[in-house]
Structure 1
Amino acid sequence: MCLNFVKQWSEHMMNLLNRRNWLASTACGFGSLAFHGLASAESDSLAVASENPLAAKQPMFPAKAKRVIFLFMQGGPSQVDSFDYKPILEKHHGEKFEFRDARKMARGNSGDQETLMKPLWKFRQYGETGHAVSDLFPHIGQRVDDLCFVHSMHTNGVAHGPSTLFLHTGALNLIRPSMGSWINYGLGTENNNLPGFVTISPSSANGGPRNYSNSFLPACYQGTAIGRAEQSSHQVKFRHIQNPFFDQPVQEKQFQLLRELNASQLGSRQDSELEAVISSYELAWRMQMHAPQLLDLSEESESTMKLYGIDQKETEDFGRQCLMARRMAEQGVRFVQVNYSDNGSNPRWDQHSKMERHAIHAKATDQPVAGLLIDLKKRGLLEDTLVWWGGEFGRNPFSQGADGRDHNPKGFTHFLAGGGVKQAFKYGATDEFGHEAVENKIHMHDLHATILHLLGLDHERLTYRHAGRDFRLTDVEGHVAHDLIA
């Protein structure tokens, strides 16, 4: 009888395990395997975010700089009207000249003959180096012996959107991590109570949030945006970090209870995603205690406020932003971006007509930028803080219409200061007209690679695996410009 039972049970199981039933019964198993693979990938990507994802990390090799302040001049300041003096433009003003592959956006332009246009401002020599700077930037001119000018920049993209995205992410039209996110990922923050990457008054146009996005990097490395373009700097603040309903003791009790519940939920499990969520809550709690103080400028002296031009209407707004950047750098925020931008389709430095408007923007930024350099140097911060100034491209040495200049990605100027770069130094050159980089050319990928190198990061080794391949800020390009490094 026992043998009959075993035989019947075996036949029953064989019937259940025919091909159709086997596929049906194991389909969930296939799904489980797929989910396990996805979960493992997710777990790997979040492993770095466990414990404290923003904790300071050791650089790959000895670093010259610990942090970066990026002063973004959106719209493309004219290099031939500011820092790249070309006397030939004055000599041949109004004459026609043939430019190879000149890019034309203005309607009515035809052929390669363009009308040369002289700078609208006089150039003067400054400092021991005698570097020529136009009357647009007299305060920055006084700091030339602290600066490292790169006169041979060139980049990808000819319109604001793609070129701005390329400057920030190294890609023209794909959603890639911003430079600040890569640095945050590679080094973490020096202050566990603050974000590692902050962008002040960013624009919602020309890339918008993609310019400070983490993209496929773990979300903890995304830039923290405070304020927005065209908003008064008085309104710049960290949002959603203060509780208006409960006082400090009650909030502390709530937080301790939340920590206990999270610890109980986590138990002995290795759940990187849950750990990352818990870590984000704890960072938010610490920020409540520390972040608001960063933006409280009432602690600053009257002389410091004057240094940044905060006592003047034209310079107050950008001056406040630059002073906030110094306070953040001082407290260990790894990458601070200060945006001189707006939310319109025509960014501030974008003078396709009425080039004289450059004077408005120079007036708003010149003294605050110089004040930042002076203040950092006085406090001993300039030695390990890299200050980076520039736009997404430059402008042409010939006219657009009667009194404007078109975009020029072929040759333009950025400058660096502090953070291990050479002082009183100029590198590279454009042609005699200031149109195209011709000597020691520096592509935007090269500048990215060089800045990462100054921070102790190898741009070829700072990678993240996503969608089956390793990504990096410089993609498959970029060379470190060692000649810029002190």
Structure 2
Amino acid sequence: MTDSLQNEIGLKQSQLTTRRALLGGSVTGIGAMALNQLLANESPAAAAETDVSPGLPGLPHFAPKAKRVIYLFQSGGPSHIDLFDHKESLDKLHGTDLPDSIRGDQRLTGMTSWQKSFPVVKPLWGGKRCGEHGTWIGNPLPHTQTIADEISIVRSMWTEAINHDPAVTYINTGSQQIGHASMGSWLSYGLGSENEDFPAYMVLLSQGTGKNPGQPLFSRLWGSGYLPSSHQGVMLRPGANPVLYLQNPAGVSRDSRRNLLDTLGQLNQMHWDSSGDPETLARIEAYEMAYRMQTSVPDLTDVSDEPESTFELYGEDSRRPGTFAANCLLARRMAEHGVRFIQLFHRGWDQHVSLEHQLPRQCKDVDQASAALVKDLKRLGMLKDTLVVWGGEFGRTVYSQGELGNPSSGRDHHGRCFTTWMAGGGVKAGFDYGTTDEFAYNIVENPVHIRDLNATILHLLGIDHSRFTFKFRGLSQRLTGVEEAHVVDGLVS
């Protein structure tokens, strides 16, 4: 090959744009646009124009009935037998062995699979018919009895999971396997936030006051999974520092923090230019959100401006940070500030032993505050567009774990049927849905899988669950999983 021909080929090659260079240049432009948008929103002019962080284009798919969700998650499995799903037949069946035809081929946990008999235990505290439609609610929940006309009680929930961690993971992420995005992260990703000073997804934890500490809760339950990490839940802790590492160290002013973030933004932009790593943009957004939260979070958690009537409504525990009651009050304040998804996890519902002593105390922790939240939202005119969900990962067995009549006996896990209640946000008020058999052991009418519950929550927020996807590992991932799921139209008002 002649020198002149080689020079001509080299010139043509230098004029060509490689596929890698083209894609790299494209994402760099996108990154610059994203960074400019984030920085522009920090200016006073931008703040005056909007206080909304939008989600995906095209969402919601249709007009929503709810703007936000408060999910009161009762971790451990509340006993639907004692609290919501009363059967008069159990009074007569008390002490008899659960028929094999009812139990069938159900997979049992290792805690009762060894038992030679499965004695039926009737509801231990009784209950009463409540509200205009006369729904039965157990006496351990006297305050919940007062909101019977505001809630839909779903008695036909079910799940395949029989152990806590996979069951809690399943109902919160749509899969029993770890690594998937939580419901709050999906909503943050899809719908964004109504207030740029707060994350779209916030989490509060509390612990039952009984002797049962409950199963551990891991941060992946409010994690973003394969979604951008900026959509993971932000957990608030009780005390002087609700969010770790949020406040500036001693001697660091807000202006110097602003200058530092500007420099970090430039460095992260340089990293994005060279790598195209989407987590770089998430990191920039996280820093900016933390900066805004330095002033917004202290205002949120300072309840000194609440009237005395508020504490009377939520109960005396609402004065003590970290309790379920205090967290319910904070949840209402978050809803007022436009937080999209608020999730309260309350541990301690795993009554394998000492059911007689543990369950009433566990109910006392949450009963008044749960009812107060619904009443408070209605008082403020917010219940109509705020969906409140109350429930756990599964229910409890009608049979006794351990010897019948022994004070140390309890109830085992039960996924074939359990109860969840919902209020506001487009669900029917004063309504019962689903029926179980005479043992409250199997569903006989209107089954609602946990995927169906999640599909219904998305529907109330204006989202078609089948079209709300994220491509990951070759699959179109969904909150409702790859299996079939249905919106429970019978619950929608």
> In structure 2, do the counterparts of structure 1 residues 50 and 221 end up closer, same or farther at CA, with 3 Å as the change threshold?
farther
- Secondary structure of the equivalent of 1:51? helix
Residue 456 of structure 2 is aligned to residue 446 of structure 1: no
1:418 is matched with 424
Q: Which moved more, 1:168-177 or 1:35-44?
A: 35-44
2:290 is matched with 284
Unmatched tracts of structure 1, length 5 or more: 1-5, 15-31, 228-232, 342-347
> In structure 2, do the counterparts of structure 1 residues 86 and 278 end up closer, same or farther at CA, with 3 Å as the change threshold?
same
* TM-score of the two chains, using structure 1 as the length reference: 0.84
1:255 is matched with 258
1:170 is matched with 174
**Aligned counterpart for 2:485 among listed residues 452, 455, 478:** 478
Alpha-carbon displacement from aligned partner over 1:104-161 (angstroms, at most 9, x marks no partner)? 3355756885211111111111111111111110000110000001000001211001
Quote the Cα distance in structure 2 between the aligned partners of 1:69 and 1:92.
38
**Aligned counterpart for 1:216 among listed residues 188, 211, 226:** 226
1:354 is matched with 354
> In structure 2, do the counterparts of structure 1 residues 76 and 40 end up closer, same or farther at CA, with 3 Å as the change threshold?
farther
Residue 125 of structure 2 is aligned to residue 137 of structure 1: no
> In structure 2, do the counterparts of structure 1 residues 458 and 308 end up closer, same or farther at CA, with 3 Å as the change threshold?
same
Give the letter for the 1:351 counterpart. Answer: Q
Quote the Cα distance in structure 2 between the aligned partners of 1:399 and 1:47.
61
Q: Are the equivalent residues in 1 in contact too, given 2:28–2:273 (CA < 8 A)? A: no
> In structure 2, do the counterparts of structure 1 residues 397 and 276 end up closer, same or farther at CA, with 3 Å as the change threshold?
closer
Residue 368 of structure 2 is aligned to residue 323 of structure 1: no
Alignment of 1:295-310 (within 5 A): 295-310=301-316
Q: Which moved more, 1:377-386 or 1:466-475?
A: 466-475
2:93 is matched with 92
Give, in angstroms, the shift of residue 207 of structure 1: 5.7
2:198 is matched with 194
Quote the Cα distance in structure 1 between the aligned partners of 2:306 and 2:436.
42
Alpha-carbon RMSD: 3.6
Alignment of 1:146-161 (within 5 A): 146-161=150-165
- Secondary structure of the equivalent of 1:369? helix
2:243 is matched with 238
Give the letter for the 1:163 counterpart. Answer: A
Quote the Cα distance in structure 2 between the aligned partners of 1:46 and 1:394.
50
Quote the Cα distance in structure 2 between the aligned partners of 1:253 and 1:199.
30
> In structure 2, do the counterparts of structure 1 residues 11 and 226 end up closer, same or farther at CA, with 3 Å as the change threshold?
closer
1:230 is matched with none
Q: Are the equivalent residues in 1 in contact too, given 2:193–2:338 (CA < 8 A)? A: yes
1:76 is matched with 77
Q: Are the equivalent residues in 1 in contact too, given 2:155–2:433 (CA < 8 A)? A: yes
Give the letter for the 1:208 counterpart. Answer: F
Give, in angstroms, the shift of residue 10 of structure 1: 7.9
Structure 1 residue ranges, 4+ long, deviating more than 6 angstroms after superposition: 8-14, 32-50, 267-272, 312-316
Quote the Cα distance in structure 1 between the aligned partners of 2:177 and 2:351.
24
Alpha-carbon displacement from aligned partner over 1:25-75 (angstroms, at most 9, x marks no partner)? xxxxxxx97798799899999998983598134511100000000001111
Alpha-carbon displacement from aligned partner over 1:325-377 (angstroms, at most 9, x marks no partner)? 11101101100011111xxxxxx111112111101100111011111111111
Give, in angstroms, the shift of residue 294 of structure 1: 1.0
Quote the Cα distance in structure 1 between the aligned partners of 2:89 and 2:311.
40
Give the letter for the 1:211 counterpart. Answer: L
Give the letter for the 1:383 counterpart. Answer: K
Quote the Cα distance in structure 1 between the aligned partners of 2:268 and 2:448.
52
Residue 109 of structure 2 is aligned to residue 105 of structure 1: yes
Give the letter for the 1:286 counterpart. Answer: R
* TM-score of the two chains, using structure 2 as the length reference: 0.83
1:51 is matched with 37
Give, in angstroms, the shift of residue 293 of structure 1: 1.1
Q: Are the equivalent residues in 1 in contact too, given 2:397–2:411 (CA < 8 A)? A: yes
Give, in angstroms, the shift of residue 253 of structure 1: 5.3
**Aligned counterpart for 2:437 among listed residues 431, 434, 438:** 431
Identical-residue share of aligned pairs (%):
39
> In structure 2, do the counterparts of structure 1 residues 8 and 127 end up closer, same or farther at CA, with 3 Å as the change threshold?
closer
Give the letter for the 1:191 counterpart. Answer: N
> In structure 2, do the counterparts of structure 1 residues 431 and 266 end up closer, same or farther at CA, with 3 Å as the change threshold?
same
Quote the Cα distance in structure 2 between the aligned partners of 1:308 and 1:456.
31
> In structure 2, do the counterparts of structure 1 residues 38 and 74 end up closer, same or farther at CA, with 3 Å as the change threshold?
farther
> In structure 2, do the counterparts of structure 1 residues 235 and 360 end up closer, same or farther at CA, with 3 Å as the change threshold?
farther
Q: Are the equivalent residues in 2 in contact too, given 1:75–1:349 (CA < 8 A)? A: yes
Residue 401 of structure 2 is aligned to residue 400 of structure 1: yes
Quote the Cα distance in structure 1 between the aligned partners of 2:94 and 2:262.
70
Q: Are the equivalent residues in 1 in contact too, given 2:75–2:346 (CA < 8 A)? A: yes
Quote the Cα distance in structure 1 between the aligned partners of 2:345 and 2:36.
32
Quote the Cα distance in structure 1 between the aligned partners of 2:400 and 2:24.
55
> In structure 2, do the counterparts of structure 1 residues 472 and 112 end up closer, same or farther at CA, with 3 Å as the change threshold?
farther
Give, in angstroms, the shift of residue 306 of structure 1: 1.6
Q: Are the equivalent residues in 2 in contact too, given 1:385–1:418 (CA < 8 A)? A: yes
Give the letter for the 1:124 counterpart. Answer: K
Give, in angstroms, the shift of residue 396 of structure 1: 0.8
> In structure 2, do the counterparts of structure 1 residues 291 and 43 end up closer, same or farther at CA, with 3 Å as the change threshold?
farther
1:17 is matched with none
1:376 is matched with 377
Quote the Cα distance in structure 1 between the aligned partners of 2:184 and 2:89.
39
Quote the Cα distance in structure 2 between the aligned partners of 1:319 and 1:97.
38
- Secondary structure of the equivalent of 1:307? helix
Residue 479 of structure 2 is aligned to residue 467 of structure 1: no
Give, in angstroms, the shift of residue 292 of structure 1: 1.6
Give, in angstroms, the shift of residue 281 of structure 1: 2.5
> In structure 2, do the counterparts of structure 1 residues 44 and 11 end up closer, same or farther at CA, with 3 Å as the change threshold?
closer
Give the letter for the 1:153 counterpart. Answer: M
Q: Are the equivalent residues in 1 in contact too, given 2:112–2:412 (CA < 8 A)? A: no
Quote the Cα distance in structure 2 between the aligned partners of 1:325 and 1:286.
19
Give, in angstroms, the shift of residue 301 of structure 1: 1.1
Quote the Cα distance in structure 1 between the aligned partners of 2:194 and 2:107.
44
Alpha-carbon displacement from aligned partner over 1:379-411 (angstroms, at most 9, x marks no partner)? 111111000000000001111112311100000
Q: Are the equivalent residues in 1 in contact too, given 2:98–2:119 (CA < 8 A)? A: yes
Unmatched tracts of structure 2, length 5 or more: 10-17, 42-51, 208-213, 404-408
> In structure 2, do the counterparts of structure 1 residues 106 and 205 end up closer, same or farther at CA, with 3 Å as the change threshold?
closer
